């Protein structure tokens, strides 16, 4: 006995049984027109019945190319959370689907932000033919260096003009404007912007926020800006602190749904009602946004499209094409958290202990 487990069946086994050479097996399974229809049928049937599956290592080696794309999810060193933001997860899911539907395998890697350079190995080792980076954060420089070295990368993030790597993102500026305009239309006068403008995406959303204010003859009030971080715990602390000091606002524009929901929870705990007292708009339009109470008005980014564009981007990058920037449309999804009319209780049911007016 050589191994504990039976050796995997390989092409030579099939060849022997079918009485042909390995070349023919290879060609038959690849669907080459060089092999007789009848023999092909015989071979493919045999392969299926033996549950044969060609060794991809050998294939990649011979072909000089792998069918795998690496997806890296940066994790901040400080943040102990297992997974960053639900939004990234949703994008991840779409990526998984986009990749498998195009016949690529997906290698998922979480890398410490400080070690972002390490991801080059994923490509140079032939493990993956290219890399999708979710979230450029503050690493524009490192990403530029990578791309400069010929590593095929496509990044989800803000469109930074003149960048040397493929970027896919949504129109953050329009997103910010849509949200703000809606709040203005709802009659809000003191709209607070929640987000850390050091991040490129957030900076653009802030510009949209400013655009909307100015277009409506208002000024940007520096007091109505708070650099809330994305990470859940930190966001909660920052918001709690914020609300303890300031209450002079009638609307919140949060740069993520998570942030908006946390804000909602904290306000609610303080007895502030959403949307009656304060209106709230989030960003991302998570699935969860329509599951919470009140359901959350939010800026939607087209995830499936984003995933497709990212895959397309890596492939282009691999082929050495000049980098492009893809900016996807954002849309506003209006829900309860910005309702202006009396909250229309849908058929107040014979519920157990209904307290009128809460």
Partner DNA sequence: CAAAATAATGCAAACGTTTGCATAAATTCA
Partner DNA sequence: TGAATTTATGCAAACGTTTGCATTATTTTG
**Chain center to CA of 181:** 25
- Peptide bond preceding 301 in cis form (omega within 30 of 0): no
For position 302 contacting a second copy by CB under 8 A, the verdict is no
The minimum distance between CB 41 and a second copy, in angstroms, equals 21
Of the candidates 325, 309, 329, 306, the one whose C-alpha atom is nearest the C-alpha of residue 174 is 329
Give 322's contacts (C-beta < 8 A, 6+ positions apart).
Answer: none
Interface pick for a second copy out of 15, 20, 92, 133 (rule CB under 8 A): 92
Cβ contact 233:203 at 8 Å: no
**Backbone dihedral angles phi then psi of residue 5, each to the nearest 5 degrees:** -95, 155
- Residue of 16, 30, 77, 246 that binds DNA (CB under 7 A): 30
Alpha helices in the chain (DSSP H): 11-18, 22-30, 37-49, 56-63, 86-101, 120-124, 140-148, 172-185, 200-215, 232-245, 257-269, 303-318
Residues 6+ apart with CB under 8 A from 70: 106, 107, 108, 109, 119, 122, 123, 127, 128, 130, 131, 132
Q: Which C-beta is closer to a second copy: that of 36 or that of 81?
A: 81
- DSSP class of residue 8? P
Q: Which two tokens stand for residue 81?
A: 């959370």
10-18, 242-250, 294-302, 316-324 -> range binding DNA (CB under 7 A): 10-18
Instruction: Identify what 97 binds: DNA, a second copy, none; CB under 5 to 8 Å per kind.
Output: a second copy
Q: 197: helix, coil or strand?
A: coil
Tokens standing for 231?
Answer: 């990470």
Q: Tokens 């689907």 belong to which residue? A: 97
Residues 39-68 within binding reach of DNA (CB under 7 A): 39, 54-55, 58-59, 61-64
Residues 252 and 194 sit within 8 Å (Cβ to Cβ): yes
Q: Tokens 């449309």 — which residue?
A: 329
Binders of a second copy in range 31-50 (CB under 8 A): none
For DNA, the closer CB: 60 or 225: 60
**How many C-beta atoms surround the C-beta of residue 279 within 10 A?**
25
Instruction: Using CB under 7 A, pick the residue from 16, 23, 45, 247 that binds DNA.
Output: 23
Of 33, 38, 48, 125, the one binding a second copy by CB under 8 A = 125
Decide: helix, strand or coil at residue 208.
helix
Ranges within 256-285 binding a second copy (CB under 8 A): 258, 261-262, 264-266, 268-273, 277-278
- Minimum distance of a second copy from residue 349's CB (angstroms): 5
Site for a second copy in 211-230 (CB under 8 A): none
Q: Which does 23 bind (CB under 5 to 8 A by kind): DNA, a second copy, none?
A: DNA
Could you say whether residue 10 binds DNA (CB under 7 A)? yes
The reply on whether position 247 binds a second copy by CB under 8 A is: yes
Which among a second copy, DNA, none contacts residue 272 (Cβ within 5 to 8 A by kind)? a second copy
Q: Among the candidate windows 7-15, 81-89, 197-205, 281-289, which touches DNA by CB under 7 A?
A: 7-15
State whether residue 49 is helix, strand or coil.
helix
103 binds, among a second copy, DNA, none (CB under 5 to 8 A by kind): none
Q: Which listed range, 11-19, 29-37, 87-95, 171-179, lies at the site for a second copy (CB under 8 A)?
A: 87-95
Q: How many Cα atoms occupy the beta-carbon half-sphere of 273 within 13 Å?
A: 10
Tell which phi-psi region holds residue 217, choosing left (phi > 0), alpha (psi between -120 and 50) or beta: left
Looking only at residues 92 through 131 of this chain, which bind DNA when binding is defined by CB under 7 A? Answer: none
Residue 217, contacted partner among a second copy, DNA, none, CB below 5-8 A by kind: none
**Residue 36 contact, options DNA, a second copy, none, Cβ 5-8 Å cut-off depending on partner type:** DNA
Where along the sequence are the contacts to DNA (CB under 7 A)? 7-8, 10-12, 19-24, 26-27, 29-30, 34-37, 39, 54-55, 58-59, 61-64
């Amino acid at each position: 006995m050589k191994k504990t487990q039976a050796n995997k069946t390989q092409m030579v086994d099939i060849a022997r049984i079918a009485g042909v050479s390995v070349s023919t097996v290879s060609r038959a399974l690849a669907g080459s027109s060089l092999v007789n229809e009848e023999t092909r049928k015989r071979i493919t049937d045999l392969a299926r019945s033996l549950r044969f599956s060609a060794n991809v290592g050998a294939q990649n080696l011979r072909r000089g190319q792998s069918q795998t794309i690496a997806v890296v999810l940066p994790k901040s060193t400080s943040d102990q959370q297992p997974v960053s933001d639900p939004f990234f997860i949703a994008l991840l899911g779409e990526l998984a689907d986009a990749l498998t539907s195009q016949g690529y395998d997906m290698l998922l890697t979480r890398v410490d932000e400080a070690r972002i350079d390490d991801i080059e190995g994923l490509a140079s080792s032939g493990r993956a033919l290219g890399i999708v980076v979710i979230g450029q954060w503050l690493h524009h420089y490192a990403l530029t260096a990578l791309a400069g070295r010929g590593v095929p990368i496509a990044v989800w993030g803000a469109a930074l003009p003149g960048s040397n790597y493929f970027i896919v993102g949504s129109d953050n500026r329009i997103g910010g404007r849509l949200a703000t305009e809606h709040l203005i239309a709802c009659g809000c006068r003191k709209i607070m912007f929640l987000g850390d403008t050091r991040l490129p995406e957030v900076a653009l959303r802030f510009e949209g926020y400013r655009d909307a204010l100015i277009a409506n003859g208002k000024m940007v009030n520096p007091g109505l800006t708070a650099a809330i971080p994305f990470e859940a715990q930190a966001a909660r602390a920052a918001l709690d602190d914020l609300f303890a000091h300031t209450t002079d606002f009638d609307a919140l524009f949060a740069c993520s749904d998570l942030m908006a929901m946390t804000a909602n929870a904290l306000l609610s705990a303080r007895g502030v009602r959403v949307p009656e007292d304060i209106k709230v708009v989030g960003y991302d339009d998570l699935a969860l946004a329509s599951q919470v109470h009140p359901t959350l008005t939010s800026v939607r980014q087209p995830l499936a499209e984003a995933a497709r564009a990212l895959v397309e981007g890596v492939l282009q990058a691999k082929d050495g094409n000049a980098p492009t920037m893809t900016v996807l449309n954002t849309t506003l999804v209006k829900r309860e958290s910005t309702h202006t009319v009396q909250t229309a209780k849908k058929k107040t049911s014979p519920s157990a202990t209904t307290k009128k007016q809460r």
